[in-house]
Structure 1
Amino acid sequence: MANGSSCADIVDPPGSEPYLLTPGPLTTSPRVKAAMLRDWGSWDGDFRAMTATLRRQLLELVCSSGTVEEFDCVPMQGSGTFVVEAMLGSFIPRDGRSLVLANGAYGQRIARTLDYLGRSYRLIDKGDYLPPRAEEVARALDEDPDIGHVIVVHCETSSGILNPVEEIAAVVHARGRKLLIDSMSALGAIPLDAAKVPFEAVVSSANKCIEGVPGFGFVIARKEALRAARGRSHSLSLDLHAQWAYMEETGQWRFTPPTHVVAAFLEALGQHRAEGGVSGRLARYVENRDTLVEGMRALGFETLLADRWLSPIIVTFFNPADPRFAFQHFYDLMKGKGFIIYPGKLTVVDSFRIGCIGRLDASVMRRVVKAVGESLEEMGVASAAPPASALEEKARLAA
């Protein structure tokens, strides 16, 4: 288990507000909430300076001094899915072909987006339990020379799996292809260094590991890719080149920006730096995960994933086999105790998810485990053990 890494300003949410144990939106700090109390003019010089600061500080998260000049950061209004679609529609040529690496709902959503965009792709679908590995990516690229881009989800939160982006990036780069990374739920807590992991672009969102609130996403991309994207997008509002060019010329967003969200995000970035940046944030999330998993296993629960693939972002647990367990009842009991959890998003087995991110620490996770135990008792669930068939499938795939 990780050593203590709690933040001094972690406090219970105000009033009856519950903790959000989700992969985002998530529980934010009082100072992030307070940052939204002022109104900002979207064309005003002060707000333009805020946008410039946001772009620069995000670049510094993934680009060292040796690579920062090669990349730029482009924020984009909307949810994380908006900016993923903007990345796909702007960087993949209309006649291009891609390799999509999927092991959950968000990889599948990328494939569905490409269907909407009319872009050709090949799919490697690993199911819910396992990550795509370098050797199968290499094989697919060798078999299909028309593939120009490879697309991978950094942390697949439908299962909680952390995909091995470094080894995938190495084989993609060695074969002269370009890597696009959906790091929606990982950037800011999972290290990603452009000098060590060659990628064309990475996208994330304000309301994930930086611990801001929903309202915009952002792409960090090579400038040459942004220049090449001119005229390629299928969409007026999701055109990354147009957004980038306008920001470079004016310092402004093309269309009305989420001003309050930007102000909150800058406060969140300051807290991120004060915690020790990526390494500090990761240490706290790892401790949260370890505390949660240890406590849940002591209650009899089993994780969907083997330990080596458990991310510090969100953990998926099998539903108990006990017929008295009903997820909606369990959810309502947990909410009544101050914790909002996530339903499962798997196709094969019944499950639920508990997030480890947001403004919370190991002491909160111990309270979560206590609330789970109390909820099971109130439901009359004698055992949290999953169905034997779920464990057999997990063992078979891990072998």
Structure 2
Amino acid sequence: MTDQGNFPPPKLGEPYLLTPGPLTTAYEVKEAMLRDWGSWDADFRVMTDEMRMRLVAMLGEGGDDFTCVPMQGSGSYLVEAMLGSFVPRDGKVLVLANGAYGLRAAKTCDTIGRARHLLDMGDYMPPRGADVARILAADPAITHVLAIHCETSSGILNPVAEISAATYAAGRKLLIDSMSAFGAVPLEPGKIRFEAMVSSANKCIEGVPGFGFVLARRSELEAAKGRSHSLALDVHAQWEYMETTGQWRFTPPTHVVAAFIEALRMHEAEGGVAARGARYANNRDVMVAGMRGLGFETLLDETWLSPIIVTFFNPADPKFDFARFYELMKDKGFIIYPGKLTVVDSFRIGCIGRMDAAVMTRVVEAARDSLGELGVASATPPAAALEERAKLAQAKVRETA
């Protein structure tokens, strides 16, 4: 029997969620939601204060100028709140996209009336500092750059350090969507300059869905007064109200906050960002090596593989049916994620959540057995998919040269 490691199967008969969030949480996190909290009660205000302080502390070097503003809603709510609050109505955003979430940010700009320039790198390639520098030099109207820290459509960990350097060399400001990276991938403002970033409770800190948070420079928050297009998504108004009263402006997700406090304490006990990131990276390495041993191939090469989620090409074998493969994996206790690419068939396996390398070894075993039940002899992808990857990558290199 395979070693259970330090992360035995979730209680209550749950499968592991091999997704970029929601994800598998610790029983202690679930248990924290069993108590009801009064949203205006002093005990809940103390919880909110603790949460805000812990999140700022996670920034590390250079975080003294920052504060935390939690806000109700999913990650997309937070991205819209950040864009609408920190980008002036007459500003313009360079949106760096290499997947669905960058494209969604561009659509958000259109919806809320912020001018934008979209750099779409497709599914395979990261935006580079040189790309940013070139576009900013050609368009002085751009005031802000928006970068996706980890684009989970493909699993690319984008090079935010060089993007930041190019942004500030051109005298502009950087905003970061770090939904699927914060808490496991360092983002220290003393090393990578930015004005604000957003993330969510149900990602690398291993809480449950219901709210996200903005970590922003106080000077940017002060300048954001009256800027937002929205009542509920006004980051400055939420911050000002919390600073004055200790309360959330509108009904907070009390149970979710209680669970998140427990998740933050467990994150610290594990060793913080470095230890969490190391566990996820080891999860990835064990899982990728095992899947490649079955014949699967990753969308990305080693340079850009994130420790968050990995995209695999579907096998060429005509007996492979993703819907059936999904169900077979679920029957074995693992929920995987469908692909989100535009040009080739794929699926994704997440590396984050309450899991370790022993769990990932079992994931590979489940994939092997599921292929056997489908009658698939090899998971090797179609040659056309690999050719398409190479062709598109080369085209993007020429396009951005």
TM-score by length of 1: 0.96
The partner residue of 2:212 within 211, 217, 221 is 217
For residues 182-331 of structure 1, what are the structure 2 equivalents within 5 Å? 182-331=177-326
Aligned mates of 2:257, 2:296 — CA distance in 1: 39
Aligned mates of 2:54, 2:209 — CA distance in 1: 18
Q: Once the two structures are superposed, what CA deviation does each residue of 1:147-206 show, in whole Å capped at 9, x if it has no partner?
A: 000001000000000000001001111111000000000000001101111101000000
1:162 alignment partner in structure 2: 157
For residues 26-37 of structure 1, what are the structure 2 equivalents within 5 Å? 26-37=23-34
Aligned mates of 2:266, 2:73 — CA distance in 1: 23
Aligned mates of 1:397, 1:303 — CA distance in 2: 15
- Does 2:45 align with 1:61? no
Identify if the C-alpha distance between structure 1 residues 307 and 201 changes in structure 2 by more than 3 Å, giving closer, same or farther.
same
Whether the 8 Å CA contact 2:319–2:376 is kept in 1: the answer is yes
- Does 2:360 align with 1:365? yes
Aligned mates of 2:169, 2:384 — CA distance in 1: 41
- Does 2:38 align with 1:41? yes
Aligned mates of 2:365, 2:130 — CA distance in 1: 43
Percent of pairs identical after alignment?
69
- Does 2:67 align with 1:78? no
Aligned mates of 2:222, 2:117 — CA distance in 1: 26
Aligned mates of 1:8, 1:33 — CA distance in 2: 21
1:172 alignment partner in structure 2: 167
Aligned mates of 2:161, 2:283 — CA distance in 1: 24
Aligned mates of 1:8, 1:220 — CA distance in 2: 34
- What letter matches 2:11 in structure 1? P
Unaligned stretches of 5+ in structure 2?
395-401
Whether the 8 Å CA contact 2:63–2:190 is kept in 1: the answer is no
Q: Once the two structures are superposed, what CA deviation does each residue of 1:215-251 show, in whole Å capped at 9, x if it has no partner?
A: 1000000111111111111111101010000000000
SS of match in other structure, 2:244? helix
Aligned mates of 1:221, 1:8 — CA distance in 2: 38
Identify if the C-alpha distance between structure 1 residues 347 and 397 changes in structure 2 by more than 3 Å, giving closer, same or farther.
closer
Identify if the C-alpha distance between structure 1 residues 295 and 57 changes in structure 2 by more than 3 Å, giving closer, same or farther.
same
- What letter matches 1:32 in structure 2? V
Aligned mates of 1:310, 1:349 — CA distance in 2: 18
Whether the 8 Å CA contact 1:9–1:29 is kept in 2: the answer is no
Q: CA deviation at 1:397?
A: 4.9
Aligned mates of 1:72, 1:95 — CA distance in 2: 25
Whether the 8 Å CA contact 1:306–1:398 is kept in 2: the answer is no
Q: CA deviation at 1:340?
A: 0.3
Whether the 8 Å CA contact 2:5–2:359 is kept in 1: the answer is no
Q: Once the two structures are superposed, what CA deviation does each residue of 1:313-371 show, in whole Å capped at 9, x if it has no partner?
A: 00000001111111111111111110000000000100000000000000000000000
Q: CA deviation at 1:392?
A: 1.5
SS of match in other structure, 1:101? strand
Whether the 8 Å CA contact 2:205–2:263 is kept in 1: the answer is yes
2:102 alignment partner in structure 1: 107
Aligned mates of 1:181, 1:370 — CA distance in 2: 37
| Bigger Cα displacement from structure 2, 356-365 vs 167-176 | 167-176
Whether the 8 Å CA contact 1:7–1:275 is kept in 2: the answer is no
1:3 alignment partner in structure 2: none
- Does 2:14 align with 1:20? no
- What letter matches 2:212 in structure 1? G
SS of match in other structure, 1:54? helix
| Bigger Cα displacement from structure 2, 249-258 vs 54-63 | 54-63
Q: CA deviation at 1:16?
A: 2.5
Aligned mates of 1:326, 1:202 — CA distance in 2: 39
Q: CA deviation at 1:119?
A: 1.1
1:98 alignment partner in structure 2: 93
- What letter matches 1:227 in structure 2? E
- What letter matches 1:55 in structure 2? R
SS of match in other structure, 1:181? strand
| Bigger Cα displacement from structure 2, 103-112 vs 68-77 | 68-77
- Does 2:122 align with 1:127? yes
Whether the 8 Å CA contact 1:10–1:29 is kept in 2: the answer is no
Aligned mates of 2:306, 2:5 — CA distance in 1: 24
Q: CA deviation at 1:391?
A: 1.1
Aligned mates of 1:9, 1:51 — CA distance in 2: 30
SS of match in other structure, 1:217? strand
2:48 alignment partner in structure 1: 51
SS of match in other structure, 2:11? coil
- What RMSD over aligned residues (CA atoms) do the two structures have, in Å? 1.3
Aligned mates of 1:397, 1:365 — CA distance in 2: 31
Aligned mates of 2:44, 2:142 — CA distance in 1: 41
Whether the 8 Å CA contact 2:290–2:364 is kept in 1: the answer is yes
Aligned mates of 1:162, 1:390 — CA distance in 2: 22
- What letter matches 1:228 in structure 2? A
Whether the 8 Å CA contact 2:195–2:217 is kept in 1: the answer is yes
Unaligned stretches of 5+ in structure 1?
1-5
